[in-house]
Amino acid sequence: MSDFEKKWSAVLSQAPVLKAYKNYVGTWEKKIGSFLEFDPNRNVGKELPEGPLKGIPFAVKDNIAVKNFKLTCGSKMLEQLVSPYTATAVENLQKAGAVVVGKTNLDEFGMGSSTDNSALGKTNNPWDLERVAGGSSGGSAAAVAAGLVPFALGSDTGGSIRQPASFCGVYGLKPTYGVVSRYGLTAYASSLEVIGVLARNTEITKKVFESMKGQDPMDHTSLDHNPSGKSVKTIGVLKNTHGALSPEVSASYEATIKRLEKAGYKLLEIDLPTLDYVVPAYYTIATAEASANLARYNGIRYGHAPLFAENPTELMKKSRHEGFGDEVKLRILLGTYVLRSGFQDQYYVRAQKIRTAIRQDVERWYSKADVLMMPVFPTPAFRHGSTDMDPFQQKQADLYTCTANLVGHPALSVPSTLENGLPVGVQFMAPPFEEDRLFQVSALLEKEFQAPEAPGYLTDWS
Ligand code: GLN
């Protein structure tokens, strides 16, 4: 264990340290609101298994099941739901000795890029409380950036781990599709999403991924992880970004390129002409799948039920009307629209064909480059309610991150620079199962630039 990990593993085992930790979290939480539920005591005193993460506390996005914790998905629909079981990914971490201390805020059902679509709380960016932490795993990113936990789990359907990681100055890994079991992850868009990790440094990101991954009989889309062990020599750098980057992100991107050159990597300029089609394809597929997945919330078996209804149809209608927020309703409507009979060829099937074209566009570079580099988001963290970044513009800004989800490849957001006091990340993408290539590049960059600690971050509790 590194000194950093040792420090964290003392938190839950030593009463005075635990007390200091709780005080620290309490103070920060008032400002950032990263947790929907926080209870480090729930596991105190329990015998922990010996493992690479023994005693290390972590937080879990509240769309991932942890037994005896709530599972709200940031929605009024599930506000009262307490999970009767634990997701396999979390269970694997518990077997490695790690301890869940709470559940973090998110955009309702993972739909958004700001966490402002949560129906249950507001999360602020620890770097600037007027700004969003990003989304949808904004609570997890804020908690890590503020030093409340060394790592947290998130889910990534179109960028929900990497975007908040970039906004908050932490590392964010979206693994290869299927390599981490999704059993216990509340479904939003099943062909795109995966559980991943937001963390303080490369080493712990890697450790958590290694402990979490693996085929699972409870998830038939899960796979064994078979990496090639290849070392990275050439990096394909996206130069034509198909849309303007803010001056801050441009400067940060250029700084990373210089660092990579200095580190001795061979850089190769790449282009991805299909980038223009990524967002339309993503939102067609994601909303289609969301409309099917969210059909289970009818207020009958579980979830929000209205006080009074004349008949089952009215019950269902009222439950959804009262239980879902606007963004979720919008996406269910859009998804139902693209799937309606007679129109599938025009929308859903077409989007799937575009998805194949995007995959081919990306894959052709892997014969020349070991990893690909592109931005995470066109801007640093934006302000709550910003008119420069309305919900439509936020969706358009998903182009760099959605690509990895559409093709199923692993991608990592790495803190790159601070620009005007705000962190900016850069994204690396690799062929399936090649997470290790991402960690190689990240570890090297980390030597040049340490992931910044948000102002007020405390490294010592005692
Ligand atoms: N911003 C994207 C969306 O709203 C991505 C969300 C996610 O990855 N869960 O769908």
Residue 294 sits at φ, ψ, to 5 deg, of -85, 0
Residue 107 has a pLDDT of 98
Q: What pLDDT score was predicted for residue 133?
A: 98
Distances in Å between the Cα of 329 and the Cα atoms of 160, 267, 322 are: 19, 44, 11
Q: How confident is the model at residue 459 (pLDDT cuts 50, 70, 90)?
A: confident
pLDDT in tens, 62-108: 999 999 999 999 999 999 999 999 999 999 999 999 999 999 999 99
pLDDT tens by residue, 117-151: 999 999 999 999 999 999 999 999 999 999 999 99
Residue 399 lies in a domain: no
Domains in the chain, number: 1
| Cα 71 from Cα 120, distance rounded (Å) | 12
CB atoms within 10 A of CB 314: 12
What is the maximum alpha-carbon separation in the chain? 71
Whether 164 is in the pocket of ligand 1, judged by its Cβ within 6 Å, is no
How much of the chain, in percent, has pLDDT values that exceed 70? Answer: 100
Q: What is the percentage of the chain residues whose pLDDT exceeds 90?
A: 91
Integer-rounded Cα Rg, in Å, for the chain is 21
pLDDT at 149: 97
CA distance linking residue 307 with residue 439, whole number of Å: 52
Ligand 1 atom at minimal distance to the Cα of residue 192 = 8
pLDDT range class, residue 462, cuts 50, 70, 90:
low
Domain limits for position 421: 3-227+409-448
| Count of Cβ atoms closer than 10 Å to residue 310 Cβ | 8
Q: How far is the CA of 241 from the centre of ligand 1 (A)?
A: 20
Mean pLDDT of 9-34: 92
Q: Tell me if 292 is assigned to some domain.
A: no
The predicted pLDDT at position 390 comes to: 94
Ligand 1 close to Cβ of residue 286 (< 6 A)? yes
Residue 6 designated active-site? no
Q: For residue range 193-244, what is the model confidence (pLDDT) as tens digits? A: 999 999 999 999 999 999 999 999 999 999 998 899 999 999 999 999 998 8
CA–CA distance, 340 with 332 (Å, rounded to integer): 12
Let me know if 230 is a catalytic residue. Answer: no
Q: Cβ distance 176 to 432 under 8 Å?
A: yes
For residue 86, the CA-to-ligand 1 centroid distance in Å is 23
- Does the active-site annotation cover 291? no
Cα 187 to middle of ligand 1, angstroms: 12
Ligand 1 centroid vs 192 CA: distance in angstroms?
10
Cα 135 to averaged position of ligand 1 atoms, centre (Å):
7
Domain presence at residue 139: yes
d(CA 291, CA 332): 4
Tell me the pTM: 0.97
Give dist(CA 123, CA 29) in Å, integer.
9
Torsion sign over Cα 147, 64, 278, 434: positive
In a domain? residue 269: no
Question: Which of these, 171, 169, 134, 224, lies nearest to 441 by C-alpha position?
Answer: 171
Query: H/E/C letters for each residue in the chain?
Result: CCHHHHHHHCCCCCHHHHHHHHHHHHHHHHHHCCEEEECHHHHCCCCCCCCCCCCCEEEEECCECCCCCECCCCCHHHCCCECCCCCHHHHHHHHCCCEEEEEECCCHHHCCCCCCCCCCCCCEECCEEEEECCCCCHHHHHHHHCCCCCEEEEEECCCCCHHHHHHHCCEEEECCCCCCCCCCECCCCCCCCEEEEEECCHHHHHHHHHHHCCCECCECCCCCCCCCCCCCCEEEEECCCCCCCCHHHHHHHHHHHHHHHHCCCEEEEECCCCHHHHHHHHHHHHHHHHHHHHHHCCCCCCCCCCCCCCCHHHHHHHHHHHHCCHHHHHHHHHHHHHHCCCCCCCCHHHHHHHHHHHHHHHHHHHHCCCEEEEECCCCCCCECCCHHHCHHHHHHCCHHHHHHHHHCCCEEEEEEEEECCEEEEEEEECCCCCHHHHHHHHHHHHHHCCCCCCCCCCCCCC
- Please work out whether the CB of residue 185 comes within 6 Å of at least one atom of ligand 1: no
Read off the pLDDT of residues 142-180 as tens digits, 9 standing for 90 and up. Answer: 999 999 999 999 999 999 999 999 999 999 999 999 999
For residue 353, give every residue at least 6 positions away whose Cβ sits within 8 Å of its Cβ, in sequence order, or none: none
Domain assignment present for 391: no
| 299, pLDDT greater than 80 | yes
For residue 112, the ligand 1 atom closest to its alpha carbon is 4
Instruction: Say if residue 247's pLDDT is above 80.
Output: yes
Beta bridge partners, 60, equal 103, 153
Say which CATH number the domain at 205 has: 3.90.1300.10
In a domain, 348, yes or no: no
Which tokens is 25 given? 């979290």
List pLDDT tens digits, range 389-435.
Answer: 999 999 999 999 999 999 999 999 999 999 999 999 999 999 999 99
Cα–Cα distance measured from residue 382 to residue 125, given in angstroms and rounded to the nearest whole number = 10
Residue 298 lies in a domain: no
**CB-based contacts of 39, cutoff 8 Å, min separation 6:** 69, 101, 102
**Residue the block writes with tokens 């910044």:** 452
> Which of 111, 132, 289 to mutate to test ligand 1, by most ligand atoms within 8 A of the CB atom?
111
CB-ligand 1 contact for 287 (6 Å cutoff)? no
141 within a domain of the structure (yes/no): yes
- Report whether residue 298 contacts ligand 1, using a CB cutoff of 6 Å: no
Q: Which two tokens stand for residue 339?
A: 């799937």
Task: Quote the mean pLDDT of the chain.
Answer: 96
- Verify whether ligand 1 is closer than 6 Å to residue 157 (CB atom): yes
417 CB under 6 A from ligand 1? no
